[in-house]
A and B are shown apart, each in its own frame.
Chain A
């Protein structure tokens, strides 16, 4: 049985041995993702949503947009907040309760990539500077955990944002007026996250499944946007040399366009 923190020594050794011959326990190529499936608009009560599976890891992201106050240091911008829940139905190791350090880290990795690229043009969501703006909530629900919830969540989040429709509005003399139809959020970029893992001696793989995640010991997540820029890095467990990190960045840059392709196709963008 798969549990969160335990993988048998036999499996671990097998995974590392296979990698030394450049092959993987599930037969994938080293830089190959599991099958990616997307279902958009799954939650009709949400302003936007997307359910994304990478292999059997499944994440549902929902967007809600509400009126609120801006942060005092950026009075002319709307607010984007990302929250993640590792709900207990996703894994025997997830427990009910407030988000633990893993959930917080996940949310902040996804949040940083969206925020730093200014993926959502928050200036467009200001109604009255310093007083009233739209607040965009992205809530990530990890539903089934078979490794790599970071990349799955980052895909689900950008797709949910692309799926989001809000009432068209205009601002007249500082007052908010709604039109009858709906409009998409102002989305400017497509950041995606590529997670890589490697054993102490051996090659990098992308999209580790749960057994690989538990066996390899060294892991790093790298966010890349459609312009090929680095828009976030988080070294996870383990340690890496400088050369290994440069290698990881270069692999992430090579692999990211495939994920961005998925986002463009599923998000209905012909860019």
Chain B
């Protein structure tokens, strides 16, 4: 990787976009979070564990995670129709799979944990920003977790392996690869490759993504710590 390769927005190949994270931003939800990564803006609410309807879908020995990833009509360059697209159905599923691994589902039999994701503005990396926000919102809801889940996309853009693609890079990329990990358990809970990569490029991209996830994990923890230490301060 050439160190001097400068990206469309002036970043270095291994540089994340500016990140903003807020937890507990919604009043009614059991847990909520708002995440910005560059221009990408995502709002997440978590409800539950709560009684699952319809009841026949309930699992007798664990909670069931239900997830809706949805893009607001004004989030994209062209208006997106609000009806769920095939892409949104797939992303809802892979995000659900990525989060389920982190939750102690067996502690809440017969219940549902409902995760609602609204992408308010889409500028690349929306599924990863969503996972980062979901993880914070689950923690904010007080749901016991094995670990936080941190996610970022990497890709191959004009022959360079780069971190945290924006929309412009994503559209021109030869390959993009969203990854979510549980950093302390060293487990990957989401991995998709969309594009063509050699095995060598895949490994290089993977390792870069893990580095990015570690940095995001640090920011997530700081965000949670700042909220809860200030609450603790009020009580003391």
Contact = CB atoms under 8 A, between A and B. Distances in A.
A and B interact physically: yes
Interface of A: 99, 101-102, 104-105, 107-108, 112, 116-117, 220, 225, 228-242, 245-246, 249-250, 253
Given A107-B86, A108-B90, A253-B199, A235 B188 contact: yes
Main secondary structure of the interface of A (DSSP, over half): mixed
A239 B198 contact: no
Interface of B: 86-87, 89-90, 92-94, 97, 101, 175, 177, 182, 185-199, 202-203, 206-207, 210
A230 B196 contact: yes
A239 B182 contact: yes
A116 B97 contact: no
B193 A232 contact: yes
A242 B196 contact: no
Contact of B101 (A117, A225, A239, A245): A239
Nearest to B186: A241
Given A104-B86, A117-B196, A229-B197, A237 B202 contact: no
Given A241-B186, A242-B188, A245-B188, A105 B194 contact: no
A116 B176 CA distance: 11
Given A101-B89, A116-B196, A117-B196, A233 B191 contact: yes
A241 B184 CA distance: 11
Contacts of B206: 242, 245-246
A239 B192 contact: no
Main secondary structure of the interface of B (DSSP, over half): mixed
26 contacts: A101-B89, A101-B90, A101-B92, A104-B93, A112-B194, A117-B196, A228-B199, A230-B196, A230-B197, A231-B195, A232-B193, A232-B194, A233-B192, A234-B191, A234-B192, A235-B97, A236-B97, A237-B97, A238-B101, A239-B185, A239-B187, A239-B189, A240-B191, A241-B186, A242-B186, A249-B202
B90 A104 contact: yes
Contacts of B182: 239
Given A102-B93, A235-B189, 15 more contacts: A117-B196, A228-B198, A229-B196, A231-B193, A233-B191, A235-B97, A235-B188, A235-B190, A239-B101, A242-B186, A242-B188, A242-B207, A242-B210, A245-B191, A246-B203
A230 B89 contact: no
Contacts of B191: 220, 233-235, 240, 245
Contacts of A253: 199
A142 B100 CA distance: 27
A59 B196 CA distance: 26
Nearest to B174: A116
A245 B182 CA distance: 15
A236 B196 CA distance: 19
A116 B194 contact: yes
Nearest to A236: B97
B93 to A, nearest CB: 4
Nearest to A246: B203
A222 to B, nearest CB: 8
Contact of B187 (A234, A241, A249, A250): A241
A253 B94 CA distance: 24
A44 B97 CA distance: 40
Contacts of B92: 101
A235 B182 CA distance: 14
A245 B207 CA distance: 12
Contacts of A233: 177, 191-193
